[in-house]
Amino acid sequence: MFLQYIKISHFRNLKSAIFSMPRHGLAIISGPNGSGKTTLLEAIYALTYGKSFRTSDSPQLIQHGQDSFALFASLLPNDANNLQAFTVGVQRDRNRGVIAQCLGEPEKFSEIARMLPIRIISPTEAYVLINGGPEQRRKFLDWGVFHVKHSYWGLLKKLNRIIKQKSAALKMRCSDEELEQWNQILSEVSYALHNMRQQYINQLKHILAEYQALLPAIRDVSLDYFPGWARGNDDLPTQLSTVLKQERQQGHCLIGPHRAEILLNTPFGTSKDQLSRGRQKMLAIALYLSQGKLLYQEKGQHPLYLIDDFSSELDLDGQQLLVDALDPKDKQIIITTLEAGQIVLDKICMKAEAIKRYTILDGNLVSD
């Protein structure tokens, strides 16, 4: 689906804003530091995923002095002949938490996310993808697999429940029989998740290799996947039985898909240790672009790209990579920048058939 417009109320410094954009094309938001550029992207992201990409403390998103924020959006189907818009909404109250709606009915966020996949590309996200802990790369993997196979979400939730319950059983010193039963259920879910993840990584590798062929700076990086348990002669149930004693001592689950990891290695060590900051950013961008391309290949839908701080934080190579790879003719791209007129940004504008420009100042969004 496409984002037609979003109405934002009391979201951080955005008291009241309406942002609309072309079905295929670019929206460029320029404004000084602290004006609300990232906040606008955060609002669009929160509409689909129910949370921010900047903070896990969601009440922070509610404007100071207010009790709630509200986001309402109109989404249009991919089919250009079908103009029936979907309205989706999210409201977060300081006391009552978050409510998602689609066409006025209560809805799960996974449903809204399914309709409008969003790929945020920001310097912070890029840095964390390469330098953060394994959970950051799992998040990347989960985003990718979920958007191409929606049943993945249910499995992931099931896994989280099993891990919680098995950990509780370990802490309560339950019998070996009971723990073996948990291991059996865990193994079934683990293999189902693993197969989806493995298949996704295999596909992603091919697409990443195409970008790498054009980018000598990251050509040596290999993309591999660790499922969360050793890939040797022993199957997962055997390995789970072997570590049971250790798990009892430590009181938590030591192996399983909750320990999966994406490995990004150079011939001399990890990308985190071996690549310069600029190359790390480029690798992260190539990974994000590969995900977007794979989504399109599998589902015929591009993600909505949110590119934050295009001018100030991305180096020229990174900007060039985005400009070359992202063609706004068939997708929606939102770019925030300190200053609108720059050579590389102008290049992407030249490729776009429709451009909407905004200026933002102290939370006031104005269409140019």
Question: Interface residues with ligand ADP (CB under 6 A)?
Answer: 12-13, 31, 33-39, 60, 62-64
Q: Which does 331 bind (CB under 5 to 8 A by kind): ligand ADP, Mg ion, none?
A: none
For 182-246, the DSSP string reads HHHHHHHHHHHHHHHHHHHHHHHHHHHHHHHHH-GGGTT-EEEEE-SS--SSS-HHHHHHHTHHH
Using the structure block, give the residue that is written with the tokens 């790390």.
280
Question: Measured from the CB of residue 120, what is the shortest distance to ligand ADP in angstroms?
Answer: 13
Name the minimum Å distance from CB 288 to ligand ADP.
Answer: 19
Nearer to ligand ADP, 35 or 190 (CB): 35
Q: Which does 291 bind (CB under 5 to 8 A by kind): Mg ion, ligand ADP, none?
A: none
H/E stretch holding 175: none
Q: 31-90: which residues touch Mg ion (CB under 5 A)?
A: 37-38
Considering only residues 137 to 196 of the shown chain, the ones binding Mg ion according to CB under 5 A are none
Name the residue nearer to ligand ADP (CB basis): 8 or 186: 8
> CB under 5 to 8 A by kind: which of Mg ion, ligand ADP, none does 257 bind?
none
Tell the smallest beta-carbon distance from residue 70 to ligand ADP (Å). Answer: 14
Chain centroid, CA 124 distance in Å: 13
With residue 102 as reference, give the H or E element that holds it. Answer: strand 97-102
The nearer residue to Mg ion, 36 or 144, going by C-beta atoms, is 36
DSSP 313-356: HS-HHHHHHHHHH--TTSSEEEEEES-S--HHHHHHHHH-S-EE
- Residue 277 CB, shortest distance to Mg ion, in Å, is 18
Q: Give the nearest distance from C-beta 120 to Mg ion in angstroms.
A: 12
249 binds, among Mg ion, ligand ADP, none (CB under 5 to 8 A by kind): none
- Residue 64 near which of Mg ion, ligand ADP, none (CB within 5-8 Å, type-dependent): ligand ADP
The option from ligand ADP, Mg ion, none interacting with 173 (CB < 5 to 8 A, set by class) reads: none
| Residue among 37 and 197 whose Cβ is closer to Mg ion | 37
209 binds, among ligand ADP, Mg ion, none (CB under 5 to 8 A by kind): none
50 residue type, one letter: G
280: contact with Mg ion by CB under 5 A: no
Nearer to ligand ADP, 75 or 333 (CB): 333
What distance in Å separates the CA atoms of residue 49 and residue 43, rounded to the nearest whole number?
10
Give pairs for 187-193: CB < 8 Å, separation 24+.
187/236, 187/237, 187/240, 189/155, 189/158, 189/159, 189/162, 189/257, 190/159, 190/227, 190/228, 190/229, 190/236, 190/256, 190/257, 191/236, 192/155, 193/152, 193/155, 193/156, 193/159, 193/257
Contacting residues for 270 by C-beta, under 8 A, at least 6 apart: 263, 264
The residue with its CB nearest to Mg ion is 38
Spell out, one character per residue from 295 to 334, where the chain touches Mg ion: x when CB under 5 A holds, - when not.
Answer: ----------------------------------------
Rounded to whole angstroms, how far apart are CA atoms 119 and 137? 14
Q: Minimum distance from CB of 41 to Mg ion (Å)?
A: 8
Q: How far is the CB of 125 from ligand ADP (least distance, A)?
A: 14
CA distance 291 to 213: 17
Cβ 145 to ligand ADP shortest distance, Å: 30
Which residues are at the interface with Mg ion (CB under 5 A)?
A: 37-38
